[in-house]
Chain A
Amino acid sequence: MKITLAVCAVVLCAVPFAGLPAFYETFLYLLLSAIVLATSWNVLSGYSGYFSFGHGAFFGVGVYTTAALAGKLGWPFLWTLPLAALAATVLGVALGAVVFRVRALRGELFALLTLAVTFVLSTIALNTVDGGPGIQVMVDMPKVTPTASGFLYLLMLGSAALTLWTAYAMYHSRFGTGLFAIHDDEDVAEVMGVPTYRFKLAAFAISCALAGLAGGIHAIFVSYVTVAETFSIALAVNVVLMSALGGTRHWLGPAVGAVVITVLLYAFTSGDAAVAGRALSGLILIVVIVAMPAGILGHVLKRFRSRQVPARGAPARAEDAPRQVAKASGEALLVVRGVAKAFKGVQALDRVDLEVRRGEILGLVGPNGSGKSTLINVVSGHYAADRGSIRFEGDELVGKPAHRIARAGIARTYQIPRPFPQLTVLQNIALPPMFGQVVMDRVAAEREAWHWLEFTSLGDKAHQYPGELNLHQRKFLELARALAARPKLLFLDEVLSGLTPGEMDGALRLVRAIRDQGATIVFVEHVMRAVMELTDRVAVLTYGRAIAEGVPAEVMRHPDVVSAYLGAAHV
């Protein structure tokens, strides 16, 4: 593998010295720049699902930075390349810093926003730097290669290598995994400990920097830049097309798509069929979106994967998971005081007080709509509390972002399971350990995940996708994912609902086993048999207020609790 790579590198570097007709250098240059642009688009848009239609804008900023500095002011052009990358990055980060704070700004809104940014920048460039007629960029090329185009080819080759390496490294790191989780379900990713804001911003910065770099080189290549050619929507759409065609879920996908499209378009433009080429690329876009949502590479890999025998991790043994067995010590782990949360006038939580003690199983019960799930959402940081204080091991949680709360050792399950649909069961469970209290790398996290797969007997499902599981298995997946974070405090939100009595017994055994391993559990449940059987103490919520807290048998006889469930007696 390494030898093949080295041979490829040597051959590609040797191209300018081989004395080939200039056409080959130019063609390869265009191919490489397509790879750089598509791959750099993909590290934000493909990985994290934030579809940008504005890649042309960041490319254009690079083009105009170099054109202005090297072409107008006569700076040495190699020095302008880092500046071209920097200018695009600064712009991207400034935009991202605003955009990524708005929670609803995803999907088509982000696409339209970035499209609009392209037009704004092109208008500004036209009226300021450019002035209308375009900029001539004539520079002295270092005499490294026989021809000038050969040198530009080498520069783009270097950029392509850098871009592919970046995409590869991201793909295999925590960073990439976090981005994929953001793609699938951003809210859940944040609650599992992924610093979503920072990750999106970093991915955007990398994406813009690489596009800006390519733009800087391209300014020299075209030697005459105009706004109409530079800030075209065609570029923005072509990179989407290439990435979608190759496969956005793989680091190499966009490069595959870039090669296919460039060769295809070349085959048409070389004849008189440029128009047919445009129609064909439109047709390809439609067919790919409709028939091959995973792209060429995604399609091939799926075939490959299904033929492979799923690799099984080492069977987990008890000593793999050393645990401090904590007894119910009575010491307060989580203290909720006066927490309020309203949704447009609906007071979901109304000054709730609650105490969770280390090592216990606390049952949290109450009628539908009493605020149990809201309380979990507030404690885990998904919603910000309007008022009140939440202390965990003495530290204030209110005002902290959800991923910091996850990192402090709080995990949760969702009542309706919310797995990451495009990650395998194993990858789903391996995510929290990568972003938990002890940050693990991918290999360690997958080893940890295997332990919890065995624990919830999902071992043979490891390489399947959540969509292939039944409800009972998805609930267990939800549980395994929460456990893999090794939380100190675990919120279980109606893990039993929808299970058959037989499945329920299994689930109850699991919950007990979890507690025996040292976690403190808040158990939200409607199934009273389970609550009475399992919990040490019970707290009752109704209309957003905690009305009783204590030993189950006593609390359930409390008159307020009886009336909350059954209504007041009218005699």
Chain B
Amino acid sequence: MPSATLLGQSVLSGIFIGSLYGLLGLGLSLSWGMLRQVNLAHFALAFLGGYVTFQLAAVAKLDPFVTLAVTAPAFFALGTALHWFLKRFSVTLLNTLLVTFGLTSIIEAGIQWFWTADFHRMESAYAAVRWKVGPLFVSLPDLLTFGFALTLSLGVWGVLRFTNLGKAIRATTDDAPIAAAFGVNEKLLGYLVSGLAASIAAVAGLCLALNHTLAPVQIYAWMGVVFAAVMMGGLGSPVGPLVAGIVIGVSEALTMAVTAPTWGPLVSFSLLIGIILFRPARFS
């Protein structure tokens, strides 16, 4: 049995990695729950965001946070373009999975062509900052990821819950034609949500670049875990993926600490299978 310090550190790192799951899951959950699109390309977009951040920080010597001023609007445009395409050809829910997988391959190939298949790690002033809290270590990039995830999840929740815009979006999710009949511009809202989801991918990309190594093959490594978080958290729910992501992250980290790191993936995927088998009704 590992020591209490190791377990404590595992729980902490589980919370931080889980908040990144939640951040990645937020965009996925919005487009799945509200637009009925399962956007696999969300992961590729997040990595593209990470690479662009890396490039701007390394070459143009920009502060990583300033790069958001470039990536977030650019990704908003990408998101709306994807939404336009999927609507234009009325792609069904299942087919959005396939189409966005195709898009993932294209983005992955583009990344590999421009940045090669090698690992990249962004150097920044933030990466080295870490504090000691009792026996445990906390790093700044981890805290930033957690902060972003929490702020965005709560922010989206607040907008949906308390504003007229949020009410219109929820009405459109429930029944788009009826909402449209009552004067909601559902088409515009679709573009807004898809653009927002893609912008969140840009933020997730920043967090990836700050705290993780970037490689094209890594795109696929995140899919299963994040899907598990989204499905556990509930489709279209803004806070659910974060909570579920942290639960998964912690249980993964503990599994790795107690057994071997290679057993880690078993947790999230077993959870995903369990949820689908025992609660299929919540996804219909």
Chain A residues within 8 Å of B, Cβ to Cβ: 51, 98-99, 102, 104-105, 107-109, 111-113, 115-117, 119-120, 122-124, 126-127, 132, 233, 237, 240, 244, 275-276, 278-279, 281-286, 289-290
Q: A105-B276, A113-B273, A116-B276 are in contact. List 4 more A-B contacts (CB 8 A).
A: A107-B94, A123-B269, A279-B105, A284-B102
Q: How far is the CA of A123 from the CA of B105 in the complex (A)?
A: 24
Known: A108-B94, A283-B106, A290-B99. A123 touches B280 (CB 8 A): no
Question: Is there contact, CB below 8 Å, between B101 and A237?
Answer: yes
B99, B103, B109, B277: the one contacting A275 at CB < 8 Å is B109
Shortest CB–CB separation between residue A431 and chain B, in angstroms? 24
A98, A107, A233: the one contacting B93 at CB < 8 Å is A107
Shortest CB–CB separation between residue A441 and chain B, in angstroms? 33
Contact digits for B108-149, partner A, Cβ 8 Å, 1 yes 0 no: 111011000000000000000000000000000000000000
Question: Is there contact, CB below 8 Å, between B102 and A286?
Answer: yes
Q: How far is the CA of A285 from the CA of B113 in the complex (A)?
A: 20
Q: How far is the CA of A115 from the CA of B97 in the complex (A)?
A: 12
Known: A120-B266, A275-B113. A111 touches B97 (CB 8 A): yes
Question: Is there contact, CB below 8 Å, between B94 and A51?
Answer: yes
Question: Is there contact, CB below 8 Å, between B283 and A109?
Answer: yes
B104 within 8 A of A: yes
Question: Is there contact, CB below 8 Å, between B106 and A112?
Answer: no
Question: Chain B residues with Cβ under 8 A from A240's Cβ?
Answer: 98
**B window 148-197: CB within 8 A of A:** none
Q: How far is the CA of A404 from the CA of B61 in the complex (A)?
A: 72
Question: Chain A residues with Cβ under 8 A from B281's Cβ?
Answer: 104
Question: Chain B residues with Cβ under 8 A from A115's Cβ?
Answer: 223-224, 227
Question: Is there contact, CB below 8 Å, between B262 and A132?
Answer: yes
Question: Is there contact, CB below 8 Å, between B91 and A290?
Answer: yes
Question: Is there contact, CB below 8 Å, between A285 and B273?
Answer: no
| Most chain B CB within a 10 A radius of its CB, from A109, A132, A275, A282 | A282
Question: Is there contact, CB below 8 Å, between B102 and A108?
Answer: no
Question: Chain B residues with Cβ under 8 A from A285's Cβ?
Answer: 98-99, 101-102, 105
Closest to B260 in A: A127
Shortest CB–CB separation between residue B5 and chain A, in angstroms? 26
B95 within 8 A of A: yes
Question: Chain A residues with Cβ under 8 A from B227's Cβ?
Answer: 112, 115-116
Q: How far is the CA of A127 from the CA of B260 in the complex (A)?
A: 9
Q: How far is the CA of A124 from the CA of B263 in the complex (A)?
A: 8
Question: Chain B residues with Cβ under 8 A from A282's Cβ?
Answer: 101-106, 109
Question: Is there contact, CB below 8 Å, between A123 and B263?
Answer: yes
B218 within 8 A of A: no
Q: How far is the CA of A51 from the CA of B270 in the complex (A)?
A: 20
Q: How far is the CA of A120 from the CA of B268 in the complex (A)?
A: 9
B89, B109, B220, B276: the one contacting A279 at CB < 8 Å is B109
Question: Is there contact, CB below 8 Å, between A108 and B106?
Answer: no
Question: Is there contact, CB below 8 Å, between A120 and B95?
Answer: no
Question: Chain B residues with Cβ under 8 A from A122's Cβ?
Answer: 265
Q: How far is the CA of A112 from the CA of B98 in the complex (A)?
A: 12
Question: Chain A residues with Cβ under 8 A from B276's Cβ?
Answer: 105, 109, 112-113, 116
**B window 245-268: CB within 8 A of A:** 260, 262-266
Question: Chain A residues with Cβ under 8 A from B231's Cβ?
Answer: 112
B284 within 8 A of A: yes
Shortest CB–CB separation between residue B109 and chain A, in angstroms? 4
Q: How far is the CA of A540 from the CA of B223 in the complex (A)?
A: 55
Shortest CB–CB separation between residue A390 and chain B, in angstroms? 27
How many residues in B have their beta carbons less than 8 Å from beta carbons of A?
A: 42
Question: Chain B residues with Cβ under 8 A from A123's Cβ?
Answer: 262-266, 269
Known: A120-B266, A282-B106. A108 touches B280 (CB 8 A): no
Q: How far is the CA of A122 from the CA of B38 in the complex (A)?
A: 24
Shortest CB–CB separation between residue A388 and chain B, in angstroms? 26
Q: How far is the CA of A40 from the CA of B273 in the complex (A)?
A: 23
| Main secondary structure on B side of the interface with A | helix
| Most chain B CB within a 10 A radius of its CB, from A124, A233, A286 | A286
Question: Is there contact, CB below 8 Å, between B91 and A289?
Answer: yes
Closest to A131 in B: B262
Question: Is there contact, CB below 8 Å, between A276 and B109?
Answer: yes
Query: What are 6 A-B pairs with beta-carbon distances under 8 A?
Result: A99-B277, A107-B93, A112-B231, A117-B269, A132-B262, A244-B98
Q: How far is the CA of A112 from the CA of B102 in the complex (A)?
A: 16
B232 within 8 A of A: no
Closest to A227 in B: B262
Q: How far is the CA of A126 from the CA of B266 in the complex (A)?
A: 11
Q: How far is the CA of A226 from the CA of B209 in the complex (A)?
A: 29
Q: How far is the CA of A45 from the CA of B90 in the complex (A)?
A: 22
Closest to B113 in A: A275
B272 within 8 A of A: yes
Pairs of residues from A and B, 5 with the lowest C-beta to C-beta distance, nearest first: A282-B105, A285-B102, A279-B109, A282-B102, A286-B102
Q: How far is the CA of A351 from the CA of B236 in the complex (A)?
A: 40
Shortest CB–CB separation between residue A283 and chain B, in angstroms? 6
Shortest CB–CB separation between residue A106 and chain B, in angstroms? 9
Closest to B220 in A: A233
Question: Chain A residues with Cβ under 8 A from B270's Cβ?
Answer: 120
Q: How far is the CA of A132 from the CA of B280 in the complex (A)?
A: 35
Question: Is there contact, CB below 8 Å, between B99 and A286?
Answer: yes
Shortest CB–CB separation between residue A261 and chain B, in angstroms? 13
Q: How far is the CA of A275 from the CA of B227 in the complex (A)?
A: 27
| Most chain B CB within a 10 A radius of its CB, from A116, A126, A240, A278 | A116
Q: How far is the CA of A230 from the CA of B220 in the complex (A)?
A: 15
Question: Is there contact, CB below 8 Å, between A279 and B110?
Answer: yes
Q: How far is the CA of A119 from the CA of B269 in the complex (A)?
A: 7
Question: Is there contact, CB below 8 Å, between A116 and B102?
Answer: no
Known: A132-B262, A289-B95. A109 touches B280 (CB 8 A): yes
B103, B272, B284: the one contacting A116 at CB < 8 Å is B272
Q: How far is the CA of A513 from the CA of B156 in the complex (A)?
A: 62
| Most chain A CB within a 10 A radius of its CB, from B106, B220, B260 | B106
Question: Chain A residues with Cβ under 8 A from B108's Cβ?
Answer: 278
Question: Chain A residues with Cβ under 8 A from B102's Cβ?
Answer: 281-286, 289
Question: Is there contact, CB below 8 Å, between B109 and A117?
Answer: no
Question: Is there contact, CB below 8 Å, between A120 and B269?
Answer: yes
Shortest CB–CB separation between residue B135 and chain A, in angstroms? 30
Question: Is there contact, CB below 8 Å, between B105 and A105?
Answer: no
Closest to A286 in B: B102
Question: Chain A residues with Cβ under 8 A from B97's Cβ?
Answer: 108, 111
Question: Chain A residues with Cβ under 8 A from B224's Cβ?
Answer: 115-116, 119
Q: How far is the CA of A98 from the CA of B283 in the complex (A)?
A: 18
Closest to B93 in A: A108
Closest to B117 in A: A275
Q: How far is the CA of A24 from the CA of B114 in the complex (A)?
A: 34
Q: How far is the CA of A237 from the CA of B103 in the complex (A)?
A: 13
Q: How far is the CA of A99 from the CA of B103 in the complex (A)?
A: 30
Known: A105-B276, A105-B280, A109-B276. A126 touches B106 (CB 8 A): no
Q: How far is the CA of A289 from the CA of B99 in the complex (A)?
A: 7
**B window 71-104: CB within 8 A of A:** 89, 91, 93-95, 97-99, 101-104
Q: How far is the CA of A127 from the CA of B266 in the complex (A)?
A: 11
Question: Is there contact, CB below 8 Å, between A117 and B99?
Answer: no
Closest to B271 in A: A116
Question: Chain B residues with Cβ under 8 A from A109's Cβ?
Answer: 276, 280, 283
Closest to A277 in B: B109
Q: How far is the CA of A284 from the CA of B99 in the complex (A)?
A: 10
Closest to A287 in B: B102
Shortest CB–CB separation between residue B105 and chain A, in angstroms? 3
Shortest CB–CB separation between residue B284 and chain A, in angstroms? 5
Question: Chain A residues with Cβ under 8 A from B269's Cβ?
Answer: 116-117, 119-120, 123
**B window 23-67: CB within 8 A of A:** 38
Question: Chain B residues with Cβ under 8 A from A124's Cβ?
Answer: 266
